[in-house]
Amino acid sequence: MTTSSTTILLVEDNEDDVFIMKRALKKAGIVLPLQVVTDGQQALDYLGGKNGFADRSQFPLPGFVFLDLKLPNIHGFDVLAWIREHGLLESMRVIVLSSSAETKDVEKALSFGAHAYVVKPPEPTQLISLIKNS
């Protein structure tokens, strides 16, 4: 269920890709609040409410997580595994963002519990169908 306050968490270390994502959301007309973290550890801290992310009013649990795979420190798959282990897959939709279109990568992401797999760059139409239709 998406509300106007449903937060989107973007886990992405590449600032160009952050720019592309923001622009695509804008073009898609999606105005939900966006939080950006730039590595795997920060993602875990945010989701676990630790290390400066404890304030849920400021850093609410997201309804959508756009997760890049190739991240510094902790890999995207490990973040995905953590989310699954903490039973968070029920309450949030995890969309893997990746440069790779390799079947192997897609299959692996879906098998880890990702709800969707988007090959970069994300297109506004894709985002609309992912967010508005969920």
Partner 1 sequence: MQPLANAKIETAQESDLLLRSLETAVMAIHTVSADGTILWANAAELLLLGYDRAEYIGRSIVDFHVDRAAIGELLQRIIRGEKIRDHEAQLKCRDGTVKTVLIDSSGAYREGQFWHTLCFTRDITGRKMADVQLRQQASEASGHAQLYQASQTELTAQKHATEALLESQARFQAFLDNSAAVIYAKDLDGKYLFINGWYEKLFGVKSADLLGKTDFDFFPKEQAEIFRENDLHVIRTGKSLEVEEIARKGAVRLTFLSIKFPLHRSDGTIYASAGISTDITTRIQGEEASRRLAALVESSDDAIIGKDLNGIITSWNKGAERIFGYKAQEMIGTTIMRLIPTERSDEETAILSRIRRGERIEHYETVRRRKNGSLVEIALTVSPIKDVQGRIVGASKIGRDITDRRRLENEQRAVYELLTTVNRTTNLRAIFEESLKCICTCQRVDRASILISDSRGILRFEAWRGLSDTYRAAVEGHSPWARDDPAPAPIFVEDIDKARFDDALKAVVVAEGIGALAFLPLVYEKRLLGKFMICHEKPHIFVNSEIRLLQTIALQLAFAVERHRTSEALELLVDERTSSLREAVAQMEEFSYTVSHDLRAPLRAMRSYSQALLEDFAPTLPEEAAHYLHRISENASRLDKMILDVLTFSRIARAELYLEIIPLETFVRNIIENYPTLQAPLAEIRLQPLLPVLGHEPSLTQAISNLLNNAVKFVPPGVMPKIRIWTEKRGPDVRLWIEDNGIGIKPEYQHRLFSMFERINPTSRYEGTGVGLAIVRKALERMGGRAGMESDGFNGSRFWIQLKGIERESAAS
* Residues near partner 1 (CB under 8 A): 14, 16-17, 19-20, 23, 69-70, 98-103, 120-121
CB-nearer residue toward partner 1: 17 or 130? 17
Nearest distance in Å: CB 64, partner 1? 21
SS3 category, 35: strand
CB 76 within 8 A of CB 9: no
Beta bridge partners of 95: 66, 116
Nearest distance in Å: CB 93, partner 1? 23
CB-nearer residue toward partner 1: 42 or 98? 98
Nearest distance in Å: CB 97, partner 1? 11
CB-nearer residue toward partner 1: 75 or 84? 75
The CA distance from 74 to 54, in Å, is 20
Nearest distance in Å: CB 38, partner 1? 14
Beta bridge partners of 68: 97
61: CB partners within 8 A, 6+ apart: 7, 47, 88, 91, 92
